[in-house]
Amino acid sequence: MLKTNKLALLVLTFLSIHPLVHLSAQQRTFSALSRFGLGESQTIGYSSSSAMGRTGIGVRSSYGINNFNPASLSALDSLSFYFDGGMSYFWQSQETQDGNIENSDMVFDYIALAFSVSPRVTSSVGFKPISGTGYKFLTTDEQINSQSQLNGSGNLTQAYFSLAVKPIENLSVGASFGYLFGNLRNISKAEFLGSTLALNHGIYNEVRISSIVYDFGAQYTHLLDDARSLTLGVTFRPKIGLKGDATSYIARGSIFGDDNNLFYPGSTVDTLRHHNKSLDNNEIEYAGSYGFGFSYNIKNKLTVAADYSAELWSDAKHFDKTFSYKNTTKYSVGAEYIPNDRSAKSYLARVRYRAGAYARDENIGSYRDVNNNVINSDLKNYGITFGLGLPLKRSKTSINLAVEFGKRDANGSNNYKQSYGKITANFSIHELWFYKRQFD
């Protein structure tokens, strides 16, 4: 008889109602740069990876779900049920000519579960954020005595199903199929100061995505001896045309509306342009990507990992032609150390100590600002992470804590600078779910 697990039933109930209500409705960034393209990328690390520089392409572990390579799922215990979920508190500080702008919030990050279909096939399902838009700021043009309000909101979220197969010993291949959904909204409102006759102008753009996406991965492990191993991993995602629809219009009026409306009803004088259209000609594309990673592992003692990944945004289409893309590249390293995984005397000896770092060149190359000036940006993003894996009792279930500090510098015409941080807590629940009792 299969072992009944009340915790698993509770997790399944939580999984079915929580993510759709909360995950796609949160504001995940306050960055002015999130108004470009598909918004600011949200790279969420599950389990241990959030404290290890978000490495994972070449990492295999039976202690938690790894979301950076679907092939890693085959490393999970085939007799166990896994649940992973996390939340974080983040803050951002943006340097402006008028001083620093400080923002912070607490958000729900992700939810996932994994279980074996057979001894060589493992699956996972979950929800995770992909990108977000969230900003609100003012710009002025003294030459024509005007003021512009710019604000944006929305998220793209992915519901996914992943599968890993182990065709031969030491080799694993995997695939992840997802449903990408959500909306991104950008609104600009301009008013002419000092004139009671001038009309206010507004621009409204909204993209609603509803599309299938997919990616693939593989890992190969070479055993150096009974305790030490080296794992190599690769990932690949083809360029994908996104489905959905878009609304765009320009209007003139007398009284501005709230954040999601250009003008209050009855105050719109005329609509200069209005378009509703389906995104059926690959007008928006999800960039292709590839990645390489490796890890050196001493069983129950040490893991050292390094990743390189690239997203080919310069080859991806977007219907907004006011800016151009750069390819995004990322380098990351991380490590995990366990003093004594089997210590019966010292809890601290069983704690997993983690640290990591990353450097990322992001995808904004050049764009036109509200005054039609060309802004060139070489956007650098770099940070450090560290944290702890706190085991519960004598099991593989753990609470994972991570702290991250980073900076984002645009070394171009606008010299934009941002510092940010995040405190993450996620829960990796590992329960023997498919264990057969020897005696009733």
Is 280 contained in some domain?
yes
Average pLDDT of span 201-218: 94
Please report which confidence band the pLDDT of residue 1 belongs to, taking 50, 70 and 90 as the band edges. very low
Distance (Å, rounded) from C-alpha 208 to C-alpha 284?
Answer: 11
Distance (Å, rounded) from C-alpha 31 to C-alpha 152?
Answer: 10
> What pLDDT sits at residue 129?
93
The structure tokens 């590249």 sit at: 329
Give 29-53 pLDDT, tens digit per residue.
888 888 888 888 888 899 899 999 9
> What pLDDT sits at residue 363?
67
Give 272-307 pLDDT, tens digit per residue.
777 788 887 778 899 999 999 999 999 999 999 999
Distance (Å, rounded) from C-alpha 395 to C-alpha 62?
Answer: 12
Lowest mean pLDDT: which of 180-184, 262-266, 271-275, 329-333?
271-275
Core vs surface per residue 268-289: b (16+ CB within 10 A) or e? beeeeeeeeeebeeebbbbbbb
> What pLDDT sits at residue 192?
81
CA distances from 383 to 36, 157, 304 (A): 22, 24, 18
Alpha helices by DSSP H, listed for 33-94, are: none
Helix, strand, or coil here: 47? coil
For 192, the domain range is 6-432
Distance (Å, rounded) from C-alpha 315 to C-alpha 283?
Answer: 12
Report whether pLDDT(440) > 80: no
Report whether pLDDT(9) > 50: no
Distance (Å, rounded) from C-alpha 389 to C-alpha 51?
Answer: 9
Please report which confidence band the pLDDT of residue 8 belongs to, taking 50, 70 and 90 as the band edges. very low
Is 371 contained in some domain?
yes
How many independent structural domains does the chain possess?
Answer: 1
Distance between terminal CA atoms of the chain?
A: 8
> What pLDDT sits at residue 73?
96
Tokens (6 digits) for 271: 């609509």
Is 335 contained in some domain?
yes
Give 412-435 pLDDT, tens digit per residue.
545 678 899 999 999 888 877 655
How does the average pLDDT of the chain come out, rounded? 85
Q: Which residue has the higher pLDDT, 320 or 66?
A: 66
> What pLDDT sits at residue 143?
73
Average pLDDT of span 395-410: 89
Instruction: Let me know the angle formed at the C-alpha of 330 by 329 and 335, rounded to the nearest 5 degrees.
Output: 165
Is 437 contained in some domain?
no
CA distances from 211 to 214, 284, 361 (A): 10, 11, 27
Report whether pLDDT(183) > 90: yes
> For the domain that residue 157 is a member of, what is the CATH number?
2.40.160.60
Distance (Å, rounded) from C-alpha 161 to C-alpha 153?
Answer: 27
Is 439 contained in some domain?
no
Report whether pLDDT(101) > 70: yes
Burial of 103 (0-12, 13-18, 19+ CB in 10 A): middle
Lowest mean pLDDT: which of 37-41, 102-106, 223-227, 404-408?
37-41
Whether the Cβ atoms of residue 410 and residue 434 lie closer than 8 Å to each other: no
> What pLDDT sits at residue 2?
41
Is 1 contained in some domain?
no
Q: Which residue has the higher pLDDT, 230 or 23?
A: 230
Distance (Å, rounded) from C-alpha 216 to C-alpha 233?
Answer: 11
Please report which confidence band the pLDDT of residue 322 belongs to, taking 50, 70 and 90 as the band edges. low
Rg (CA), the chain: 24
Report whether pLDDT(92) > 90: yes
Is 341 contained in some domain?
yes
> What pLDDT sits at residue 435?
55
Report whether pLDDT(60) > 50: yes
> What pLDDT sits at residue 4?
41
Q: Which helix (H) or strand (E) holds 122?
A: strand 121-132
The structure tokens 């995770």 sit at: 128
Report whether pLDDT(338) > 80: yes
Distance (Å, rounded) from C-alpha 257 to C-alpha 251?
Answer: 12
Give 238-262 pLDDT, tens digit per residue.
999 999 999 888 998 888 887 678 8
Question: How many helices and strands in the chain, by DSSP H and E?
Answer: 2, 23
Whether the Cβ atoms of residue 134 and residue 152 lie closer than 8 Å to each other: yes
Is 440 contained in some domain?
no
